[in-house]
Amino acid sequence: MTENNENCETCTHQGTCPSQNSDQAAACVDNLARKIKHKIIIASGKGGVGKSTVSVNLARALQLEGFKVGILDADITGPNIPKLLGIEDQSLVMGDEGIRPADAGGIKAASMALVLSSTDSPVVWRGPMKMAAIKQFIQDVDWGELDFLIIDLPPGTSDEPLSVVQLIPDLAGAIIVTTPQEVSLLDSRKAVNMVRAMKLPVIGIIENMAGLMCPHCHQRIDIFQSGGGERMAEETNVRFLGSIPIDPQVCSLGDAGQTFVEGDMPAADVFRLIVERLKNILR
């Protein structure tokens, strides 16, 4: 990654910085538009709803069906995608056509975590620095030909989502991830309105952590209440893609750098149905 100064007037790269070269940036963006068919952002109004887990499993489910898939981790200060994909030992390196993305079993990936010297290294950057990093991931990474680029946004409705929308042409739309409880739904409604304010379609809402099946009595336990995501979808006139139940295996697989969509469990079965609905919407 290029070292950048957050103040352009004092930056040593002034005049030669790719971020200031509008012709080069326009060419890169046009190239991105031609080579990638569907570009989908995964958003949430708040953290802790499992947005990154949804992102990596969506990417894996599409890749398993024969699609060429990439995933862009746009969460600069909290990049978790490499951990969930089991590629923490990889790094982004320069190639002949730009920055070469990491490979996660056939999924191309770019993340700030693949640039840091240590998994414990914090990214203590102001907004302009984060925006420059996102811009470089979009414009300078050699994504190649892709059917899908999944873009995992940081939570909230601030700088990073705006930058991604401004920099990436022809976005297919956004998927909003929420959990059933009202405190999450409150922020998820804001995420829906943010996407609409940016003139993007909301592809649908996914409700995560929607209930736990007791392994002893086999009764459903609604830890975070139930049905909140579906009610919000009706209230906001957005498609409801489905509810993913709580499953301890989802957590253990994620910690091990594996995706749960490949497994034989209720959460995987539901998620595969969600992916089928998404494919039908994008046809």
Model-level pTM? 0.86
The answer to whether the beta carbons of residues 41 and 239 sit under 8 Å apart is: no
Question: Hey, which of 18-32, 51-65, 108-122, 240-254 has the most confident mean pLDDT?
Answer: 51-65
Say if residue 5's pLDDT is above 80: no
As a whole number of angstroms, the distance between CA 212 and CA 214 comes to: 6
pLDDT at 27: 53
Supply the mean pLDDT for the chain: 84
DSSP 97: T
Say if strands 98-100 and 93-95 run parallel, antiparallel, or are unpaired: antiparallel
For 182-230, the DSSP string reads HHHHHHHHHHHHHHHHTT--EEEEEE-S--EE-TTT--EE-BTBSSHHH
Q: How many CB atoms lie within 10 A of CB 57?
A: 27
Show Cβ contacts of residue 136 under 8 Å, excluding neighbours closer than 6 positions: 1, 2, 18, 19, 99
Q: Please report which confidence band the pLDDT of residue 22 belongs to, taking 50, 70 and 90 as the band edges.
A: low
Share of the chain above pLDDT 90, in %: 45
Report the SS3 class of residue 53: helix
